[in-house]
Structure 1
Amino acid sequence: MSSGKLMIQETVESFTSHFEQIFFAVLKEHDEKFHASIILKKLFPTSKVMIINEVTRGQAETIAKMIEFFNITDSFLVKDSDSNFKFSSAYESDKNYVSVCNAKKTPETLLYNKSFVEISNQEYILRTSLDIISNYFSCGGYFFSNASEFIENFYKYEEMQMEGEFFIANVIDVMIDDNHIFHPKECTELKDWGTFEDWINYKKSKSCYFFDIDGVIYENGSEFWEPRWGESKVMINAKNKVNDLFNSGNQIILTTSRSEEFREKTMNQLKNDGVSYHQLVMGIFHGTRYMINDYSNTNPYPVAKAINTKRNSCDFIEMID
């Protein structure tokens, strides 16, 4: 939501181009309170939404209900709604997969609530466990080649499990015991937002930066005296810092007191010098500038910061936290 998006957008958008149809399940209570189905249809117009009257016994039962409600017969991916990850190759429709990440490559991920997988030398998943049995843990994506096989094995598990939550991993274990093969699909760039605090911390990890051009990124220039606007030298350390912030997913907005008639010349200067940015605001008053922003529980204080940097000094680089 650093870009103003909801968590569900961050979760789903990168997957939509890889699948023919997107399905959602929403608890009736939440739909009535938050209008979730309306919002989902607005965000994903071709998606289909199922309203569930009562809380299910877990994700596995929810998926079983969705398969039957939407009459799903082909392969499908079950995706957790509070995480995102990248996969390097497509899920093959005739195979079963568990999306996994290597714990050694994601040291920032908390593992206390993860399901781990044991992988054979032939690249088959032997079992899942809440205990740490390997370096690989499930990152929240489960691909099944056949919907009816999922339903069949869900009911097998239902007969075995009298109480407790029904997890997807439980159904997978039943299928593995019945000689169904599951392959690990190694994924990267995991973003895990399992709690409200996780989501807030993620939003805080990306920021919007306003940089003045002259005296901050470029040696200070003038419309009338040397060095003139569009001809001043870029300060390499400043440019590198701006580009690092840009490449890290932050939003970069450049501001300048240069008048609008200098926009094309300024844009060419920025392009030639390799300065990365998202927006360019011209004609800013050459005086004190105030940033005023609102804070709340979902956007905690402080939400506005300021750095006063000495002209042409690049001393702001050490001040950015």
Structure 2
Amino acid sequence: MSSNLIVPVAADKPEYSNKLPYVFALGEDGIIVCIKSVLGLPLDRFDNIYFTVLRKHDDLFYIADSLRMQCKRLGLVNVKIVILDESTRDQVETVFMTIQQERISGSIYIKDADCYFESKEAIRNGVAIYPIEELEMLDPRDKSYVAVDDMYYITNIIEKSVIGHYISAGGYAFEDCDVFCKYYTSLRHYDRLYLSHIIYAMLLDKKTFRPFLVKNYKDWGSKRMLGFI
């Protein structure tokens, strides 16, 4: 069974019509933000790494070429840039379209492009978590939260409502992408989906998810929203 890392970076906003999305910009170390977001993961455990972008952004800013060149410079192998012709409604649809377009099978690990953490976990049903008390800053409206029981299983995951002292850190592992797609299809009638909705539906069906505690979490998205970068 193959193991696949998917980084969905196809968000579309009005300001992106004439401005490079910040996840494709260079950080202070000269590394493109969305690439740096995965460098704390055990990349050698993935058979394939996918960065999914919008064609309109690629046409304007030559994103695919920039990503390919930097991945080559960093020695990242098995990287593919997936280009979607049309905007998606949300991150979950972007992942689904990536799976369909590339005919991905096996396990998938979905990584948010606007944050960084270090973790050795790669495969199985799981969610990256980080303690609230260790955050530099927190906007409760910008996070999903995870409840963990005494046996170290996830019992709940929910958007924008604090239910424990762990946030979802932006890494989501599914051991079978066909199951992910089945749940996506069953929930697609909702206007906007989050990955937490997919996981919660699976929890209701008695599918188990483990938390994995990550280190050195950096939340660039929240810092940008609050004007710190």
Instruction: Tell whether 2:148 aligns with 1:122.
Output: no
Root-mean-square deviation (Å): 2.0
Higher RCO (C-alpha 8 Å, min separation 6): 2
* Number of the residue aligned with 1:190: 217
* Number of the residue aligned with 1:181: 208
Higher strand fraction (1 or 2): 2
Following superposition, the deviation at residue 186 of structure 1 comes to 0.8
* Number of the residue aligned with 1:286: none
TM-score when normalising by structure 2: 0.79
Q: Structure 1 residue aligned with 2:79, among 47, 56, 59? A: 47
CA distance in 1, matches of 2:211, 2:128: 6
CA distance in 1, matches of 2:89, 2:193: 6
Tell me the percent identity. Answer: 26
Q: Structure 2 residue aligned with 1:155, among 178, 185, 195? A: 185
Instruction: Tell whether 2:28 aligns with 1:2.
Output: yes
The amino acid of 1:25's aligned partner reads T
CA distance in 1, matches of 2:150, 2:113: 31
* Number of the residue aligned with 2:121: 90
Alignment CA distance shift 1:174-1:156 (3 Å): same
* Number of the residue aligned with 1:138: 168
CA distance in 2, matches of 1:42, 1:181: 39
TM-score when normalising by structure 1: 0.57
Q: How does 1:1-321 map to 2 (within 5 A)?
A: 1-15=27-41, 16-45=43-72, 46-87=78-119, 89-91=120-122, 93=123, 95-129=124-158, 130-159=160-189, 161=190, 163=191, 165-194=192-221, 197=224, 201=228
Following superposition, the deviation at residue 127 of structure 1 comes to 1.4
> What's the secondary structure of 2:60's corresponding residue?
helix
Following superposition, the deviation at residue 201 of structure 1 comes to 4.1
Q: Highest Rg: 1 or 2? A: 1
> What's the secondary structure of 1:14's corresponding residue?
coil
The amino acid of 2:48's aligned partner reads Q
The amino acid of 1:83's aligned partner reads C
Following superposition, the deviation at residue 57 of structure 1 comes to 1.2
CA distance in 2, matches of 1:27, 1:195: 23
Following superposition, the deviation at residue 9 of structure 1 comes to 2.9
The answer for unaligned runs of 5 or more in structure 1 is 203-321
The amino acid of 1:90's aligned partner reads E
The amino acid of 1:76's aligned partner reads I
